[in-house]
Amino acid sequence: MDSFSVDFVFMKTLQILGVFLGIGLLSGMARPERETPTGVPGGDWLRQYFEQETAKLESECLEDVRSKADWERLRPIRFQQMRDMLGIPSMKNRPSLHSKVTGRVEEEDFIVEKLHYQSLPGLYVTGNLYRPKKFLGKLPAILYVCGHGRVKKDGVSYGNKTYYRHHGAWFARHGYVCLTIDTIQLGEIEGQHHGTYSGKMLWWMSRGYTPAGVEAWNGIRGIDYLISRPEVDASSIGVTGRSGGGAYSWWVAALDERVKAVVPVAGITNLRNHVVDGCVEGHCDCMFMVNTQRWDFAQVAALVAPRKLLICNTDNDSIFPLDGVVDVYNRTRRIYKLLGAESNIGLHITEGAHKDTQPLRMGAFHWFEKHLKGKSEAMLLSTPAEKFFEPEDLKVFHEIPQDERSSEIHETFVPKASRVEVPADSTGWLNHTEGKLETLRKKTFGGWPVEESIQPDGKLVFQAVTGGVRMQQLKFTAQDPFRLSLFLFHRAGLQAKDLDLLVLNVLDESGWQNFLGWANVGFSKQLHDFSSNSIVMNTEDWELQKKMFGNFKWGMAYVAPRGIGPTRFPTEGRKGIQIQRRFYLLGQTLEGMHVWDVRQAVRALREIKGMAEIPLWLQAEGRSAGVALYASLYENNIHRLDLHGLPKSHRHGPYFLNISRHIDLPEAVSIAAGRSQVRLYQKQKGGWDFPSAVAGKLDWDQTQFQVVVSDDTEE
């Protein structure tokens, strides 16, 4: 078999049939706000970083599967990892569906029932069930999961089930029961798919929430509903959908082994297309799991093996490019081959862009006829999919239920970390914190390099003295290709060993600008390459700095993590959000990698002769204070943290992968205070009762944890 395992004659027959029937390209995914992918915005080094990280995950994808025994051992582990990355609730003891049929409409040869069920209490799923009027025995059933096809009139949403109504009609007219269900974003009850895509809910990253999980769960419960129907053959269940529905087809089939045959249409491509080529910019959040395990997408596809799988796509699809689709197919096909089931996987490619075309549909119809009904491969399907009824005819609800949770399901679908009890004693608290840090290293900071793999390799770039103050610039490796700058100041004439303490200031973009404002007064020549006409010179602060260094044997170091200051790239606005989403697809977050950068800065400072024994403080403001806080949890011997305006919850940043599933900032502060002195500077009292209670219970010295209320603190 060549790499395209769909019968070539069959493909050409479908294309000819399309021409014969006069079938044109139908309108597809409604996404007017999206752009054609353009690759990675920003500097060459940012492109290099995404290329390197993507290549690493590509090289690891399914490489540990070399035999059937390997897959049988690893698949249950990967299955649970997939569940976790989608945030799927327990598959056991599922709650009642409370399904209800609210009406029906009829055509000459089929009936459509308008219905809803609750996949969780208050999580309503609206759908249309298509079934033949006349049939003998039990019928095969199709779960049709919809792509993004908005149908809304006069402010009323009729659900994307009405956009894709021609699919259900075809199946019913050919002897299937077909349940077509709405998605949460474009259903009759309108929820959200655009949390990170719009940049308005980046806290989804911290929560470990993706609407892909809701759509997968709703689909699994849709199968629960189908097999409850007396006319359905529970051993002959298929799943299909296109675009967003293509993605949901993967989620459902990967997690639900009741699915015998699946046809995802334009619903998957590889990580390279998304991250390097820019396809992520054309997709909302429902297309992606939270990539905690750092998978390429063939890992998802392989979970369907050895069941019947046909991957469908057009050859000129800008958001599911053909090279990536074929790559996923070939990697998945290798697993099928190891299992002795190579004939169970197929690839169906037709001409066209990202559209819902008749030739594509015919491939799916043929696959189900063959594998759910046992029809001959050579049979020719001649009936096109046609739309019956108007959207108004298929609407389920007359009024939206008062107890619905669908529109806000992102708030509750993935549980937050449970409340932590104040520890009984120091031993119990130590065991708790060690376990928590290990969990975070795996589930939140799994995208960090291996600690021993990257040395900071700090190099002195220059040093100069002005007004009795010595400044040194060092370059160190945070992570290839990011060589970051450290700026170190202290009184001229002092050696490192003479310092009483060293403070590492972790800068955000505002802090970087402020730093340049006073440092340029004394060192404008040396800082020329970092400055611009927008820098506001601050002579007053420079004088204060000189006075401080004259009075105290202190060293002050400044670092701007990747994407800030010297390595600045967009982090806000249209392009900036898409850059952040690229990190997210790699199983990282930008701010999570900032924590790593600070850790490397700490190591670079300690490499300087005489610095290793100097008490080290970390200082930062706002969300960068959270970055410094977590860096202190993974570096030993941080003497003190001075955190100004630290958010009280990860809801407001910093955004770390899955962090809110395991811990929130008050508990993180408590863990830090058990390792370092902690000072929180804020404008108002309150918000830190838990670390205060821990300090009291464990009888810490009062200097270990303090909250300082000051009007000068920025929040």
For range 361-385, the mean pLDDT: 85
Q: How far apart are CA 487 and CA 366, in angstroms?
A: 66
Q: Model confidence over 536-562: pLDDT tens digits?
A: 899 999 999 999 999 999 999 999 999
Burial 560-596 (b: 16+ CB within 10 A, else e): bbbbbbebebbbeeebbbbbbbbbbbbbbbbbbbbbb
Q: How far apart are CA 300 and CA 255, in angstroms?
A: 10
Residue ending a domain, among 512, 536, 568, is 568
Do both 624 and 501 map to the same domain? no
pLDDT computed for residue 11 by the predictor = 36
In terms of DSSP bridges, do strands 152-153 and 156-157 run parallel, antiparallel, or are they unpaired?
Answer: antiparallel
Evaluate whether residue 126 is within a structural domain: yes
pLDDT computed for residue 44 by the predictor = 84
Q: Model confidence over 667-693: pLDDT tens digits?
A: 999 999 999 999 999 998 889 999 999
Q: How far apart are CA 341 and CA 306, in angstroms?
A: 6
**Long-range contacts of 148-151, Cβ-Cβ distance < 8 Å, separation of 24 or more:** 148/29, 148/30, 148/31, 148/183, 148/185, 148/186, 148/193, 148/243, 148/244, 148/284, 149/28, 149/29, 149/30, 149/186, 150/30, 150/186, 151/186, 151/391
Do both 116 and 70 map to the same domain? yes
Q: What percent of the chain has pLDDT over 70?
A: 93
CA 612 to chain centre: 38
Instruction: Please give the torsion angle defined by the CA atoms of residues 35, 267, 218 and 221, in that order, rounded to the nearest 10 degrees.
Output: 170
List the CATH number of the domain containing 328: 3.40.50.1820
Structure confidence at residue 39 as a pLDDT band (50, 70, 90): low
Evaluate whether residue 563 is within a structural domain: yes
Contacts of 653 by beta carbon, 8 Å cutoff, 6+ apart: 202, 203, 206, 591, 622, 623, 626, 647
Q: What percent of the chain has pLDDT over 90?
A: 87
Do both 448 and 486 map to the same domain? no
Instruction: Dig out the tokens for 528 from the structure.
Output: 């020329």
Residues 567, 573, 578, 580, CA torsion sign: positive
Mean pLDDT of the chain: 92
In terms of DSSP bridges, do strands 308-314 and 345-350 run parallel, antiparallel, or are they unpaired?
Answer: parallel
Evaluate whether residue 361 is within a structural domain: yes
CA 602 to chain centre: 29
Please say if the pLDDT value at position 255 is more than 60: yes
Do both 372 and 321 map to the same domain? yes
Residue 549 belongs to what domain range?
457-568
For range 488-515, the mean pLDDT: 96
For range 357-374, the mean pLDDT: 93
Q: Would residue 112 be called left, alpha or beta, if left means φ above 0 and alpha means ψ between -120 and 50 degrees?
A: beta
Q: CA separation (Å) from 120 to 96, 217, 306, 545?
A: 8, 9, 30, 59
3-state class (DSSP) for residue 178: strand
Do both 19 and 141 map to the same domain? yes
3-state class (DSSP) for residue 713: coil
> CB of 239 within 8 A of CB of 143?
yes
Residue type (1 letter), 192:
Q
Residue type (1 letter), 381:
L
Q: Which backbone phi and psi does 277 adopt, to 5 degrees? A: -85, -15
> CB of 297 within 8 A of CB of 270?
yes
Please say if the pLDDT value at position 642 is more than 90: yes
Please say if the pLDDT value at position 659 is more than 60: yes
Instruction: Please give the torsion angle defined by the CA atoms of residues 57, 585, 161 and 185, in that order, rounded to the nearest 10 degrees.
Output: 170
Q: Model confidence over 93-110: pLDDT tens digits?
A: 999 999 999 999 999 999
Evaluate whether residue 607 is within a structural domain: no
Do both 561 and 645 map to the same domain? no
Residues in the chain: 715
Q: Model confidence over 126-185: pLDDT tens digits?
A: 999 999 999 999 999 999 999 999 999 999 999 999 999 999 999 999 999 999 999 999
Instruction: Dig out the tokens for 213 from the structure.
Output: 């999980």
Evaluate whether residue 579 is within a structural domain: no
> CB of 362 within 8 A of CB of 10?
no
Gyration radius from the chain CA atoms: 29
Of residues 296 and 387, more confidently modeled: 296
Q: Residue 37: is the preceding peptide bond cis (ω within 30°)?
A: no
Structure confidence at residue 4 as a pLDDT band (50, 70, 90): very low
Do both 431 and 541 map to the same domain? no
Structure confidence at residue 35 as a pLDDT band (50, 70, 90): very low
Please say if the pLDDT value at position 495 is more than 50: yes
Evaluate whether residue 309 is within a structural domain: yes
Structure confidence at residue 695 as a pLDDT band (50, 70, 90): very high
Do both 524 and 621 map to the same domain? no
Do both 310 and 269 map to the same domain? yes
Residue ending a domain, among 535, 568, 601, is 568
DSSP secondary structure letter of residue 26: B
pLDDT computed for residue 560 by the predictor = 98
Do both 172 and 298 map to the same domain? yes
Structure confidence at residue 41 as a pLDDT band (50, 70, 90): low
Structure confidence at residue 27 as a pLDDT band (50, 70, 90): very low
First to last CA, the chain: 63
> CB of 326 within 8 A of CB of 289?
no
Do both 113 and 194 map to the same domain? yes
Q: Would residue 502 be called left, alpha or beta, if left means φ above 0 and alpha means ψ between -120 and 50 degrees?
A: beta
Instruction: Please give the torsion angle defined by the CA atoms of residues 223, 226, 230 and 235, in that order, rounded to the nearest 10 degrees.
Output: -40
Q: CA separation (Å) from 248 to 158, 177, 270, 409?
A: 20, 19, 16, 17
Contacts of 644 by beta carbon, 8 Å cutoff, 6+ apart: 619, 620, 621, 622, 625, 681, 682, 713, 714
> CB of 360 within 8 A of CB of 6?
no
How many other C-beta atoms can be found within 10 angstroms of the C-beta atom of residue 548? 14
Q: Give burial (CB, 10 Å; 0-12/13-18/19+) of 252.
A: buried
pLDDT computed for residue 439 by the predictor = 98
Do both 215 and 307 map to the same domain? yes
Bridge-partner residues for 471, per DSSP?
464, 489
Structure confidence at residue 376 as a pLDDT band (50, 70, 90): confident
> CB of 604 within 8 A of CB of 456?
yes
Residue with tokens 């959000």: 577
* pTM of this structure: 0.92
In terms of DSSP bridges, do strands 705-709 and 482-491 run parallel, antiparallel, or are they unpaired?
Answer: unpaired
Kind plus residue range of the DSSP H or E element containing 56: helix 44-60
3-state class (DSSP) for residue 629: helix
How many separate domains does the chain show?
A: 3
Q: Give burial (CB, 10 Å; 0-12/13-18/19+) of 613.
A: exposed
Q: How far apart are CA 77 and CA 189, in angstroms?
A: 35
Burial 660-683 (b: 16+ CB within 10 A, else e): bbbbbbbbbbbbbbbbbbbbbbbe
